[in-house]
Structure 1
C-alpha cells in the first residue's frame, strides 16, 4: 500500500472536496499543493474554499494553507521543507498524507524527492533587467533554459515581469554553479538528497468544455463574493501593487483594475482568458509528468462523490 495519495487536476476540477472526503474515509490529512494558498488573507482569489474541509460536520485536518504573509515570495525550496515537515508529522500520527493541488511543479518536486538550495536575490542582475518588457525577459529566460537544459522551473507560469526576473535569477544561479563544478556533475541547486515519496496519484479528469463553463461561473461567483474588496484591502494594508501582480491571475488583473490600468470589463475578459489558459497549462504539465514516468490514475470529475472515493480505494 502506498504511503501517500496525491489528488491532482486542473483548476475547477473539484480536487479539494475529493481529497477531504477521502481523508474522512481513511483517516487522512490533506497537504495543499497550491503555490498561492499559502498566503493569509488571500482567500477568494486563491479559491481556498475552506468549507470543503468540513465533511458531514467533521473538520478535516489540512496543512500548508495560510502559512505566510502577502507580499512575501514563497518558493519551491520553502515548500519542500514545509511539505516534509507536514508529511513526517502526519505519518507519525499514523494518518495517511493526502497531497492535493494543481501546482504541478510543487507536486513533481516532492514526489521525485528533489532537494533544492535557496537562491538569494542577485541585485546587480535585477538592476540590469530593470525596464525590460515581459517578452524581452521571456526571451532571456528561454535562452538560459536552453543553455542549462533546465526543467525544474515552471516555464508555463511566467506571467509577470517579476516572475520572469526571478526565474532568470534562478537559471543564472544554476549556470554559475555549473561553471564552478565539473560539467558532468549535477549542479548543487538540483542535488537529490531525499528519497522520492511513494504515492498513488489520482487525477481528476474534467471535460474541457465543462471545465471552461465552471471556470467562468466560478469567476463570476467570486467577484460577487467580494474578490475586488479582498484585493483592495491588501493594497490598503500597504502591500505594493507590483507585489500583488507577482502572484498572477486574479491578483494581477484585479490590481490593474483597482489601480486604473484596466476597466472592469477589460479585467474580467482578460482574467477569464488567463484562467482558461492556466488550466490548459496545468493539464500540459500533468501529461508531461506521465511522459516522465509517473502513473496517474484518471477518474471522471462528474462521478458522484461516493463513487469517486470507492474507485480511489479500489486502486489504492
Structure 2
C-alpha cells in the first residue's frame, strides 16, 4: 500500500486536500509539519482544528512540549510507526506537510548523522553570543546548499548543519542520500502562483492575529516557550515574543511574520522542486473539488 504525500509551500492548501484524500481513500492523516508536533503551537502553525479534520484521524501531532528540541530522527520513528499502524488497519496513510526533511525522513531510505556533544556545545555557546544570522552567514560560506534550505533565524538547524559539516567533512545537504523510497509512496505537490501565494500568506497571518496568536504565545510563555530551542523560534511566535518582551510592536510583528513566511515558502518550493518524484498540481484557481479530482487521478496513474 502506497503512502500518499501532499507537499508544497505553506498556505498552498495541503491541509484541506489531505483531509479530502483521506476521506476519498479511506485514509488517515500523518503530520509532516515540524512545528505542529509541539503541543500548544496551534494558531501560529495553522494546525487543523477538529472541525477542519472532519472526523479524519490525525497522527504525530502534539507530541512534544515547547521546551523540547526537535528531533527529525525521533519524528522518523513516530511517522513510520503511524504509517505502519494505519496500513495494518487496511487503510491509506496520507502524509501532509511542508517540512521537506521531515517528509523525506518519513518516506525515504535514510539515516541521520550522529552528534558530537563537544562540537554541539561549542557551536551553541557561540550561537548565544553572536546570534543565528552570523552563524548562518558562516554556513553560507561553507555549505551554500544547506544555507539555502535553512532560515537565517533558525539557530538550532544552523548549528546542526555546521556540526554535521565538522563531524563528516561534508555538507549537510550532501549527507542526504539520493531519494529512494523506503516506504512506497506517491507525492503530490501543490503549486500556487507567487502573487496569489503571497496574498494567501498575508491573509493567513491576519487570521492568526484575529484568532488570538498573541494570547496563545503569552500562555505558552508560562510553559517555557521562551526557553524552547525550537518552538520559541517558530514563525509568528518568535515575532510575538519580541512584542511581549517590549522589543517591538504588533504592527512590526505582523509585517515581519508575513515577510519571513514568504521567504520560507520560497525555500519550501525550492526544496520540493529538487525532488523529481513529486507530481505537481496547480492549486491556484482550481476549486477544491477539481483539485481533488486531479490528485486522485495522479494517485491512480502511479
Range into which the TM-score falls when normalised by the shorter chain = 0.7 to 0.9
Question: 1:8-41: CA deviations, max 9, x gaps?
Answer: 1211111111110111111011111101000001
Equivalences for 1:273-284 in 2 at 5 Å?
A: 273-284=259-270
Contact map agreement 1:105 1:154 (CA 8 A) in 2: no
TM-superposed deviation, 1:245? 6.7
Tell me the residue number matched to 1:219: 205
Instruction: Flag the 1:128–1:310 CA change in 2: closer, same or farther, 3 A.
Output: closer
Tell me the residue number matched to 1:50: 49
TM-superposed deviation, 1:232? 0.6
Tell me the residue number matched to 1:21: 20
Instruction: Flag the 1:263–1:129 CA change in 2: closer, same or farther, 3 A.
Output: closer
CA RMSD of aligned residues (A): 2.7
SS in 1 for 2:31: strand
TM-superposed deviation, 1:52? 5.5
CA distance in 1, matches of 2:278, 2:221: 42
Contact map agreement 2:32 2:95 (CA 8 A) in 1: yes
TM-superposed deviation, 1:236? 2.3
Instruction: Identify which range, 95-104 or 162-171, moves more after superposition.
Output: 162-171
TM-superposed deviation, 1:230? 0.5
Tell me the residue number matched to 1:253: 239
CA distance in 2, matches of 1:171, 1:134: 17
Tell me the residue number matched to 1:61: 57
TM-superposed deviation, 1:209? 1.6
Contact map agreement 1:32 1:65 (CA 8 A) in 2: yes
Tell me the residue number matched to 1:294: 277
1:102 to 98, 103, 106: 98
Contact map agreement 1:244 1:252 (CA 8 A) in 2: no
CA distance in 1, matches of 2:242, 2:137: 24
Equivalences for 1:157-236 in 2 at 5 Å?
A: 157-175=151-169, 196-236=182-222
Q: Please give the TM-score of this superposition, normalised by the length of structure 1.
A: 0.83
Instruction: Flag the 1:138–1:47 CA change in 2: closer, same or farther, 3 A.
Output: same
Question: 1:147-177: CA deviations, max 9, x gaps?
Answer: xxx76x973334243442233233333339x
1:142 to 126, 140, 143: 140
SS in 2 for 1:298: strand
SS in 2 for 1:131: helix
Tell me the residue number matched to 1:132: 130
CA distance in 2, matches of 1:44, 1:237: 16
SS in 1 for 2:149: coil
TM-superposed deviation, 1:51? 3.5
CA distance in 2, matches of 1:275, 1:124: 30
Q: Which runs of 5+ in 2 are unaligned?
A: none
Which structure is larger by alpha-carbon Rg, 1 or 2? 1
How many residues align? The count is 294
Instruction: Flag the 1:158–1:313 CA change in 2: closer, same or farther, 3 A.
Output: same
Q: Please give the TM-score of this superposition, normalised by the length of structure 2.
A: 0.86
